[in-house]
Amino acid sequence: MVQKFLSKTSSTIEAIRKFPNLYKATSLKQNLRKATISKVCSFYYEVHEDSIAIMYFWDNRQEPIDY
């Protein structure tokens, strides 16, 4: 189970590395995007000119973030 999560996370990060704007931007902050890893987990990341920063992982069963 952990190995599957790590594999999916790695493949999602690799896709973002190739296509930084692959996932939808949040409504208030254009450079903050949400990538879904599984039904219950996502992560938010920021796209900068020369880097991509993973900000935090999110349990999708929680209340949504108001961005």
* Residues 13-51: tens digit of each pLDDT: 999 999 999 999 988 788 899 999 999 999 999 999 999
| pLDDT for 67 | 52
**Domain segments of the chain as ranges:** 2-59
Q: What is the CATH number of domain 2-59?
A: 3.30.2310.20
> What is the rounded CA–CA span in Å between residue 20 and residue 61?
25
- Assign 9 a pLDDT band (cuts: 50, 70, 90): very high
Which two structure tokens, joined as six digits, stand for 16? 């973002």
